[in-house]
Structure 1
Amino acid sequence: MKSYHRVLTIAGSDSGGGAGIQADLKTFSALGCFGMSVITALTAQNTRVVTDILPVSPAFIASQMDAVLEDIGVDAVKIGMLHSPEVIETVAEKLAQWKCPNVVVDPVMVSKSGDKLLREDAVKALKQTLVPLATLITPNLPEASVMLDRPVEIAGEMKQAALDLAELGCANVLVKGGHLTGNNSGDLLYDKENQAMVDLPGERIDTKNSHGTGCTLSSAIAANLARGMALEPAVKMAKVYITHALRAGADYQTGKGHGPVHHFYKFWS
């Protein structure tokens, strides 16, 4: 019998379909993986606004993880926003218990408007209990700033930020440069095991349809790792995927705000 490449997403649900669990599952499918989900919160949102959030209890999050991991297992895990210290600690405990491989943590902490999405105690729990279990963390510049408690705003600050983030215990760091000004939107990958800094140039796509970009990139990395790629090619191929998805989705009108990327650009238009 054949086996699927199995990827689990642990994140919130986006009722608008552009980010969160929905974006993750679409990405896994587009990249040839079998996707599973542990929902940490339900959101009522569209392309313009989040109108309500219903958190899921840590106990039920643990039950979801146990159910999936005991029976199906995983080849990689993608983790999105976790809303409280209790949830973060529960997820970390279960990842360790089940010895989950290829854990990609997208530390969603700051909204597009610049507002913090996590309380200080949740940020502390993330850094102390979850980040050390990660194969890769993928902060953007505002998130790196929160994690390091100092501004990380320009390209020249990204290398030191990656080194300092690695000191939190994670195996590897991808500092994303989408918030850089001008045409430069390149990322920086720090491969801690090999002590290598890899510059990853990025093409800035002119589009308002960028909702779920971070979720999609981290999910694509997890999918590529699940398929057996080494870290650097997994990240590089994920960047190719998100670039094409952004470009292909630019001409679509979905809602009245920031629409999604085109996850299935390879298959339909």
Structure 2
Amino acid sequence: MTAIALTIAGSDSGGGAGIQADLKAMSALGAYGASVITAITAQNTQAVTAVHGVPLDVITAQIDAVLSDLDVDAIKIGMLATPEIIETVAEALKDYQGPIVLDPVMVAKSGDSLLQDDAVEALIRHLVPRAALLTPNLPEAARLLGQPEAETIEEMEKQGAALRELGAASVLMKGGHGRGDFCEDLLVTATGMMGLSSPRVKTKNTHGTGCTLSAAIAAGLAKGLDMETSVEEAHRYLRRAIREADTLTVGRGHGPVHHFHGIWAKNG
């Protein structure tokens, strides 16, 4: 059977994040990627200059079209932008039984906001309880909880547990915004914790890292891997994609990670 993963997210015209990054990551890891576009952004490596939400009925129609025909094994949800879009996606997925990876996209790498302030509560109410995995970075976790950003592993553990209390089955606290020579991620589940550590790579080309990681995890789940294995495989993939990012020359700002590092290397 073909592993199929669906991404529900915004489009990045620069190709480094959002739907485009998701489909690249899913493809690189051996899953067939389908997509539902929730918003169109005018975006490059330097800035987001415009955001246009897709009409709600069109979002619903996209979801219905995919789920009525494709046997979707896992879903990744990214940029949703408004409370209305969040509620629409939640309603359209009410009968879906597979795992959902929820990436609470709030701010672009350029610093531009991608989630309205009044959408945070809607996200917590309608989608966090549906998530098999919630994947916030440290600022996103703090905003969801109304707390200061975690600065230690102990604080990351407490915030991960608090986010699980909001309904998420598992939480991956991403430490990319932390300090130190190593990036420390922490997976918090019902049965315990798993730490993932990697040396920080000195590069400005990290556009789309969050999208890429959550999509890669969804690809693993779609292939039938368990949560821990999916997270570990995705973590290794992203680490290499960041290490190889500087081999690309895309844009003048925060360039993308190298989603196809393994494939392009093999093809010379």
TM-score, with structure 2 as normaliser = 0.95
Call closer, same or farther: CA 1:23–1:113 in 2, change over 3 Å.
Answer: closer
Match of 2:185 among 177, 184, 187: 187
Q: 1:203 offset after TM fit, Å? A: 2.2
Partner Cα separation in structure 1 for residue 41 and residue 116 of structure 2? 18
1:24 counterpart letter in structure 2: D
Q: What is the aligned partner in structure 2 of residue 25 from structure 1?
A: 23
Structure 1 residues 251, 50: CA separation in 2 closer, same or farther (over 3 Å shift)?
A: same
Change (3 A) 1:115 1:42: closer
Q: Does 1:102 align with 2:110?
A: no
**Cα gap change, 1:268 to 1:134, in 2 (>3 Å):** same
The change in CA–CA distance for 1:115 and 1:257 in structure 2 (over 3 A counts) is closer
Q: Distance in 2 between matches of 1:32 and 1:70?
A: 22
Which residue number in structure 2 is paired with residue 240 of structure 1? 236
Aligned residue runs from structure 1 range 69-148, under 5 A? 69-97=67-95, 99-112=96-109, 116-148=113-145
Cα distance in 2 for residues equivalent to 1:110 and 1:165: 19
Q: Per-residue displacement from partner, 1:90-135 (whole Å, max 9, x unpaired)?
A: 11112122x2411000001234466654233210010011000010
SS at match of 1:256: coil
CA spacing shift, 1:50–1:104, aligned 2, 3 Å: same
Match of 1:68 among 43, 66, 69: 66
Moved over 6 A (4+): none
Structure 2 unmatched runs, 5+: none
Q: 2-side partners of 1:18 and 1:201: how far apart?
A: 24
AA partner of residue 151 (structure 1): P
**Once structures 1 and 2 are overlaid, which stretch shifts more, 66-75 or 106-115?**
106-115
Aligned positions, number: 264
Compare 167-176 and 243-252 and name the one that shifted more.
243-252
Residue 200 of structure 2, aligned match among 204, 208, 213:
204
1:55 counterpart residue number = 53
Structure 1 letter corresponding to 2:196: L
- SS across alignment from 2:118: helix
Whichever residue aligns with residue 250 of structure 2, its letter is T
In 2, Cα distance between the equivalents of 1:184 and 1:246? 14
| Counterpart AA for 2:205 | N
Q: Determine the structure 2 residue equivalent to 1:158.
A: 156
State TM-score, norm by structure 1. 0.95
Work out the CA distance in 2 between the residues paired with 1:14 and 1:104: 19
Measure, in 2, the Cα distance between the counterparts of 1:213 and 1:66: 28
What do residues 43-98 of structure 1 show as CA deviations (whole Å, max 9, x unaligned)? 1111111121111011110000000001113000000010111110111112122x
Q: Which amino acid aligns with 1:77?
A: I
- Structure 1: gaps of 5 or more residues: none
C-alpha distance in 2 between matches for 1:34 and 1:115: 30
- Change in CA separation of 1:111 and 1:13 when aligned onto 2, cut-off 3 Å: closer
Q: Distance in 2 between matches of 1:49 and 1:100?
A: 37
1:18-41 Cα offsets, whole Å, 9 max, x none, are 000000000111011111000001
Q: Distance in 2 between matches of 1:234 and 1:224?
A: 5
Distance 2:37 2:249 in 1: 28
The residue identity in structure 2 corresponding to 1:244 is R
Aligned equivalents of 2:199 and 2:92: distance in 1?
37
Change (3 A) 1:110 1:49: closer
Distance 1:226 1:249 in 2: 26
Q: 2: CA distance between counterparts of 1:14 and 1:114? A: 15
Corresponding residue SS for 1:189: strand
Paired amino acid for 2:225: M
2:146 paired residue among 124, 145, 149: 149
Query: CA 1:51–1:120 in structure 2 vs 1: closer, same or farther (change >3 Å)?
Result: closer
Amino acid at match of 2:240: H
Q: Determine which of 31, 38, 41 is the counterpart of 2:39.
A: 41
Per mean C-alpha deviation after superposition, the further-off stretch among 166-175 and 106-115 is 106-115
